[in-house]
């Protein structure tokens, strides 16, 4: 079987990644390297700058807020939510995984 990646499967595909840490960062880089468009939501302004420099779209955003919703342009073929607790203990987990995931 021939891999779908060999035929440009990711070209013209759009991925939204929430969280640019270990998992989100790796997935973003791989998807981008395969020719896809990547939009990353991160709480870290330095990561936003680095992602933009390599050609990805990036936005500083907190999923628990809705300010960023109107800043997204277009639709997405794939969405990956891999936010972390932000090192905030129980409060951080509640903020990221409850408040950040409920519309």
pLDDT digit string (tens) for 52-61?
Answer: 999 999 999 8
Taking the model in full, what pTM does it have? 0.80
Averaged pLDDT, 20-36: 92
**14 forms bridges with which residues in the sheet?**
37
Instruction: Please give the Cα distance from 80 to 18 (Å, whole number).
Output: 6
pLDDT digit string (tens) for 49-100?
Answer: 999 999 999 999 877 777 888 888 889 999 998 876 666 667 766 656 566 5
Is the Cα torsion angle 37, 39, 44, 49 positive or negative in sign?
Answer: positive
Domain of residue 26 covers 4-99
| CB distance 11 to 36 below 8 Å | yes
Burial of 100 (0-12, 13-18, 19+ CB in 10 A): middle
The per-residue pLDDT for 28 is: 95
First-to-last alpha carbon distance for the chain, in angstroms, is 40
Give the total number of structural domains in the chain: 1
CATH code for the domain in which residue 15 is found: 3.40.50.720
Where does the pLDDT of residue 15 fall: very low under 50, low under 70, confident under 90, or very high at 90 and above? very high
């Amino acid at each position: 079987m021939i891999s779908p990646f060999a035929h440009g499967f990711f070209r013209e595909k759009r991925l939204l990644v929430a969280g640019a840490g270990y998992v989100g960062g790796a997935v973003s880089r791989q998807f981008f390297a395969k020719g896809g468009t990547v939009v990353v939501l991160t709480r870290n302004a330095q990561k936003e700058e680095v992602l933009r420099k390599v050609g990805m779209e990036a936005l500083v955003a907190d999923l628990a807020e809705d300010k960023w919703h109107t800043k997204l342009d277009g639709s997405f073929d794939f969405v990956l939510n891999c936010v972390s607790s932000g090192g905030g203990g129980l409060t951080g987990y509640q903020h990221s995984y409850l408040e950040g995931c409920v519309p």
